[in-house]
Amino acid sequence: MSMQTSVCVVGGGPAGLTLAVELARRSVPVVVLEASGHFNRSFRGESVSPDSVWLLDRLGLLDRLDGSYVQMHRMEIDDSGHTVFRAEFADFRYPHPFPVELPQPTLLAALAETGAGHPGFRLLQGATATGLLYDGEGAVAGVRARTPDGETEIRASLTVAADGRFSKVRDMAGLAYRKVPLERDVIWLKLPFPYDAWDDRTYRVRIRGDQHGLFIPTRPDSVRVGFNIPKGGLREMRGQGLPALYERLDLLAPELSATVREQVRSWSDTSMLDIFTTVVPRWSAPGLALIGDAAHTLTPILGQGVNHAIIDAVTLAPRVAAAFSDDGGSTASLLAAAEAFQRSREGSVARSRALQLRQERLFTLDGAMGSAWRRTLYRVVSSSPRLTRRVLAGAYFQVQRPGERVAKVQAAL
């Protein structure tokens, strides 16, 4: 079995589905391959930055998602029991100043439903790319895939790797990349939200010495908890038994001590995320483009994964559509579109990566002097609205402009 399309997107996450919807809206036929048969992804990115909220509004999805997300109003960092940084998102004068917490299955289902309303959109779930197809000139010409209906070939003028931080398409294409491991991994778990102790509109970061935790309100009534362990340290911690996990939460968030003992009864109630960033010098090859984590893996700090995935998609889509409009989507014009896309995006990605790495270094400072310096730095930034806006704008407000009205997506990119 085989099929023909203009664009084949491998990966039905936020990057891949947003791109496919935007292409279908522009009358570019597109097939999306998604390995999972459903959208119920555990511990995937649910934090949607203000810029992406603005883009979802412009794409007509925000009203559809109304009631499925919660706005976050502030961020607080506590170090050694004292609040050293606090930012109110309402102080940022942008069309959409608030990040939101939105379950990823809900976002993906809304994107898939929107795409299905366009005749050129096709989503194949339970479909895994197993190899790349090439034309006589050596350009990628689609993929071989294993689907619920058997083996198939999807021939396409452009193949897009949107298959995440461990991209198989990137590997199959032989595109070089550099994986930079950080000094820590993160254990994630989910607990009932402690409404008697916290409000559910605040991002919380708790730090003690070189240990830190992220506490993120999650729809409908949970809190996602992520705390650091040394790189490769999961086996050692599991060897110490669940009391070691309980004690870590006792140290960082005693408000959750009783709840974590009630809810986490085995290590299967947790998930470990290997923390690294990936630098990919070239995001394209003839017939192929990379977007999202496949092009630039980031860390969980400040929830940038979904943000950059969505911005990538709405940046690439009009360039690809223009290439099909100009000359029918020749290999040369599609490659030029992909290269222009990378040039327009890599500066923003580099700024986010640098900000994340600075935060990672601050989180891992230890000892009396290191901890004191970190607390002083956070207090200085928190005491200056100008510094606070400057720091957070680099993460949350790279697309929107202060005071502007909501305009067309293309005008901002």
**Three-class secondary structure of residue 228 per DSSP:** strand
CATH number for the domain whose boundaries are 2-180+276-412:
3.50.50.60
Cis ω for the linkage preceding 220 (within 30 of 0)? yes
| Residue 93: alpha-carbon gap to chain centroid | 24
Q: How far apart are CA 143 and CA 145, in angstroms?
A: 6
Residue 45: per-residue pLDDT? 63
What's the one-letter identity of residue 83? T
What is 183-273's CATH topology? D-Amino Acid Oxidase; Chain A, domain 2 (3.30.9)
Sign of the alpha-carbon torsion through 48, 50, 110, 215: positive
Domain extent listing, the chain:
2-180+276-412, 183-273
**Cβ atoms of residues 228 and 186 within 8 Å:** yes
Q: Any idea how long the chain is? A: 413
Q: How far are the Cα atoms of 133, 239, 306 from residue 357, in angstroms, in the given order?
A: 37, 30, 18
Residue 27: per-residue pLDDT? 97
Quick one: how many helices (H) and strands (E) in the chain? 12, 20
Q: How far apart are CA 378 and CA 243, in angstroms?
A: 32
Q: What is the pLDDT along the chain (413 residues), one digit of tens a residue?
A: 789 999 999 999 999 999 999 999 999 999 999 998 877 765 566 889 999 999 999 999 999 998 889 999 999 999 999 999 999 999 998 999 999 999 889 999 999 999 999 999 999 999 999 999 999 999 999 999 999 999 999 999 999 999 999 999 999 999 999 998 888 889 999 999 999 999 999 999 999 988 899 999 988 899 999 999 888 888 899 999 999 999 999 999 999 999 999 999 999 999 988 888 899 999 999 999 999 999 999 887 777 888 999 999 999 999 999 999 999 999 999 999 999 999 999 999 998 888 888 888 888 787 888 889 999 999 999 999 999 988 888 788 988 988 765 444 443 44
Tokens encoding 174: 């032989």
**Cβ atoms of residues 16 and 292 within 8 Å:** yes
